[in-house]
Amino acid sequence: MKFTKKLVSLGLVFVMAVGAIGCGSTATKATDAATTSDSGSDTATASGEKRIIKIGTWYDHYYDSTMDDIYDNPNVTDEDQAQMQLDNVRAIEKKYNVEIQFVNLTYTGVQDSINTSILAGAPDCDIYEVDLQFGIPAALNGYATDMTTVLPSDSDLFTDQTVMKYIQIGADEGAYLLKAVAAETTIEATYPIAFNKQMIDEAGLEDPRDLYAKGEWTWDKFREYMLALTKDSNGDGVTDVYGFGSDYQNLFGGLLMSNGATVAAGKTQTLENPEVGEALDYMYNMYNVDKDAYPWYADDFDSNRLWYKDGLVAFWVSAAWIMDSEKDGDLPFEVCFVPWPVGPSGNQDTNKMKNVTSGNGWIIPSGVEDPELVYNVFYDWTNWYNFDTAERDSNLSWWQDAVLSDENFQVMELMGSKENFDLWNNLGVPYDLEGIVTGTLTTSQFQETYKQPFQDALDAFFN
């Protein structure tokens, strides 16, 4: 099967001590000057002395100025790409009169270095790799440079985001947490709605992807479809095929984003907001009023997302890792992906489709010398492919095979481009969403019970 690398219309409009020792600064003073591919300024060193850009990480990265052979990476697989990356390092050294050094501080060591050296006003490293679980509070507590105060407004970071993007944290307009752009990092952790196309066709229903293209794929339409597809297929008086079946965590997360809602997107919980209540009501009604969702099976959580395999549900929440087991199989029906239907408080143009509260990113610490130069060096290091995104994204075969079709892959691309920030499932709050789907909790009871635990967890997280 042939896969394209860009989003097409589909006929739709888818559209520590270790830290102090390893990263001690040896930088020489740099000035503002010349041009670069992103920010408009090389800010190369004027003194002629070489500056060392130190990058603190928790695992080994390749390549930097300490390496002169592609096999310095013991796991090299694509020799041509490795040579491009190594050649890029040499070009950056010459362009900016710098050396790049990655320093593996370990996971704990990165945190220790951030908490000690940045607070003291003398960062050990010029850039840090951060897990978002500690990078987010670090950024909001003033440990990271806001790149909106450093780079020009026409920077790639704020416009096309071809090479680098940033994660917007709640209502804060700053650009603290940087992420390298690549197709794989865009599509990972996307959870589209999947459907059994045979069931849709046999019921005489319009393809949901066509409805999405027309702006008609809404919660009301989704409910209409789920009701129509819930049935007693063998006439024994017992419902045995349901409109929907999946796990309640991914269901709730998708409903929140499709309704423009968040629970923990900043320092104050919004669980009690009306648009969150609408998402909870929708879940409750699916399982307890309309009864068009496969009854929750508490004995095996994972089985709830796999009813589709036996043709027991028409819609479910899917992902590449869920579908991977089917890439060599022979499902008797076609699996299609579609973005989530739009809720009553949502908007198809502005709804977010991928939550980005886990994973890793990069910060340029507050107090670092010449943060524009640091950013430009890192930007160019990341851009080893010289804007040839087809080269950068040339090895996506696992993802493409797992999701079975080019069209499904493109839905994940669309969803991954619309990032959301909501910590609701990352705070360790022992919420009882199972109570919503089993009918033991109402929406108002859920909101009243958990609003304070979510607030307490946010207070601890950000402070």
Please tell me the distance from the alpha carbon of residue 137 to that of residue 219, in angstroms, as a whole number: 35
Q: Which residues pair with 98 in a beta bridge?
A: 51
**Type and span of the H or E element at 276:** helix 274-288
Q: Which residues pair with 360 in a beta bridge?
A: 131
Cα-flanking dihedrals φ and ψ of residue 180, to 5°? -70, 140
DSSP letter assigned to residue 299:
T
Which residue ranges make up each domain of the chain? 17-188+357-394, 193-352+403-462
Q: Classify residue 401 as exposed, middle or buried by CB count within 10 Å of its CB (0-12, 13-18, 19+).
A: middle
Determine the straight-line distance between the first and last CA of the chain, rounded to whole angstroms.
Answer: 50
Q: What is the pLDDT of residue 375?
A: 98
Amino acid letter for position 31: T
Q: What is the pLDDT of residue 266?
A: 86
What pLDDT tens digit does each residue of the chain (463 aa) get? 333 333 333 333 333 333 333 575 443 333 333 334 575 555 455 456 899 999 999 999 999 999 999 999 999 999 999 999 999 999 999 999 999 999 999 999 999 999 999 989 999 999 999 998 889 889 888 999 999 999 999 999 999 999 999 988 766 789 999 999 999 989 999 999 999 999 999 999 999 999 999 999 999 999 999 999 999 999 999 999 999 999 999 999 999 999 999 999 988 999 999 999 999 999 999 999 999 999 999 999 989 999 999 999 999 999 999 998 887 677 899 999 999 999 999 999 999 999 988 778 999 999 999 999 999 999 999 999 999 999 999 989 999 999 989 999 999 999 999 999 899 998 999 999 999 999 999 999 999 999 999 999 999 988 7
Task: Decide if 336 contacts 10 (C-beta within 8 A).
Answer: no
Please tell me the distance from the alpha carbon of residue 217 to that of residue 340, in angstroms, as a whole number: 8
**Intrachain domains 17-188+357-394 and 193-352+403-462 with the same fold:** yes
What pTM, to 2 d.p., does this model score?
Answer: 0.81
Please tell me the distance from the alpha carbon of residue 173 to that of residue 409, in angstroms, as a whole number: 31
DSSP letter assigned to residue 342:
B
Handedness of CA 420, 424, 426, 432 (dihedral sign): negative
> Would you state the CATH architecture of domain 193-352+403-462?
3-Layer(aba) Sandwich (3.40)
Four-point Cα dihedral 264, 269, 271, 272, nearest 10: -160
Task: Decide if 304 contacts 254 (C-beta within 8 A).
Answer: no
Q: What is the pLDDT of residue 229?
A: 98
Q: In this structure, which topology does domain 17-188+357-394 adopt according to CATH?
A: D-Maltodextrin-Binding Protein; domain 2 (3.40.190)
